[in-house]
Amino acid sequence: MNKESSRSHSIFTLSVQSVTSLGNGLKSVKESKFNLVDLAGSERQKLSGAAGNRLKEASSINRSLSVLGNVINSLADINISKNRHVNYRDSKLTFLLRVTFLS
């Protein structure tokens, strides 16, 4: 395991708003939201040599990435007309991404 590695996921949200005056007291408002997501990479725990809290942390990261893959697969199935439940609540990462992307 890389000692300098940040073993966390990061989400950065940038909100942009443009307001244009149309005259007569009317305004045009356009809003956009950009979500940038940096995911911690998964590791083979046997090869990393991690133990104790670092091993627990690596296990949590691997689990959250696995759940994210399941959510993506469910969304892809819904997109091709298969009726599936999307388990956003299976990890904090997917629940947070759901709230971030749907708001």
The one-digit pLDDT tens for each residue of the chain (103 residues) are: 555 555 677 778 889 999 999 988 899 999 998 878 787 776 666 666 667 777 777 777 788 888 888 888 888 887 777 777 788 888 887 887 786 666 5
Using the structure block, give the residue that is written with the tokens 């990393």: 48
* Per-residue buried b or exposed e for 4-25, using 16+ beta carbons within 10 Å of the residue's own CB: eeeeebeeeeeeeeeeeeeeee
Q: Are 86 and 74 a contacting pair, CB within 8 Å?
A: yes
Domain that holds residue 89: 10-102
Query: Does the residue 39 lie in any domain?
Result: yes
Instruction: Identify whether 5 is part of a domain.
Output: no
Number of domains in the chain: 1
Provide the whole-model pTM. 0.56
Would you state the structure tokens that stand for residue 74, as one six-digit string? 């469910």
In a domain, 1, yes or no: no
Does 4 map to a domain?
no
The pLDDT of residue 43 is 63
